[in-house]
Homo-oligomer: A and B are copies of this chain.
């Protein structure tokens, strides 16, 4: 029993004439005749009473035809589902973002994605890089926004923008007079850092090789956020390093805080999109990337498409 057989069956039930039904199905009369016969044999019931005068459907035949129509209807729904789902911009996209990007990117990103792809709602999760990577591989997420380096088997990564780091000082700090701060001097200060697991912490430490967590006056804030650290800096608990998108987007005229760039070469992090190589909705990823680049992110430099990294 195939869907074709059922189509023949329904056509014959409608036409009550093998020739006409065959014509309607664009097949020859013997084709339809044989198909119906086979179907009757398979089901071991007589579906039609044939006679020279006309074709009559049996009682059981009528019931089976009704059911066959239901089957064909449901099968047709599959095609419709496929047509509707063919657009990569239709259906929800599960997006993951690391903690140190989410708060500064998402307010810009979300409305832009919604404008570009209204029927693609974003399901957003913020987490550490490692957790996001896991979810991505499991399929709980479709795309993630992370900082490089990020390499996972089966995952492709595409750099989107670089963002420089900034030094955040409490108002009145001695370094306020400096235009730019050399990274090496961070070792001198009480540096507030995020806890382990935040990639940004590692990147700051990498930018300032002399800083060693646990040594000197640096303090690590486990399970905290850049926002918390910023408030601590404002209270004079120390200084910190922020990505430009977090530092430059300070509420205008915050007199308690001062932002200073690093001396060149500025330390920076490269932010990238990542997804499974097998992920089929590349169009959706393009929309995300475009929306990120369209966002007014302070201090960032877009990384051209040639800069795609594997």
Contacts and interface: CB of A to CB of B under 8 A. Distances in A.
A81 B60 contact: yes
Given A60-B85, A71-B74, A79-B43, A52 B154 contact: yes
Given A49-B139, A49-B276, A78 B85 contact: no
Interface in A102-127: none
A67 B81 contact: yes
Contact of A45 (B67, B70, B71, B85): B85
Interface residues of A, number: 43
A53 to B, nearest CB: 7
A56 interface: yes
A73 to B, nearest CB: 9
A2 B1 CA distance: 9
Interface stretch (A191-199, A203-211, A241-249, A277-285): A277-285
Given A3-B3, A64-B81, A67-B77, A51 B86 contact: no
A94 to B, nearest CB: 9
Contact of A3 (B2, B52, B64, B77): B2
Contacts of A1: 3, 75, 78-79
A96 to B, nearest CB: 16
A212 interface: no
Nearest to A82: B43
Contacts of A92: 59
A58 interface: yes
Nearest to A277: B51
A177 to B, nearest CB: 55
Contacts of A81: 60, 63-64, 67
Interface in A138-189: 139, 154
A29 interface: no
A1 to B, nearest CB: 7
Nearest to A48: B278
Nearest to A71: B74
A67 B78 contact: yes
9 closest cross-chain pairs (CB), A and B: A60-B85, A43-B82, A46-B280, A49-B278, A71-B74, A56-B139, A45-B82, A67-B78, A71-B75
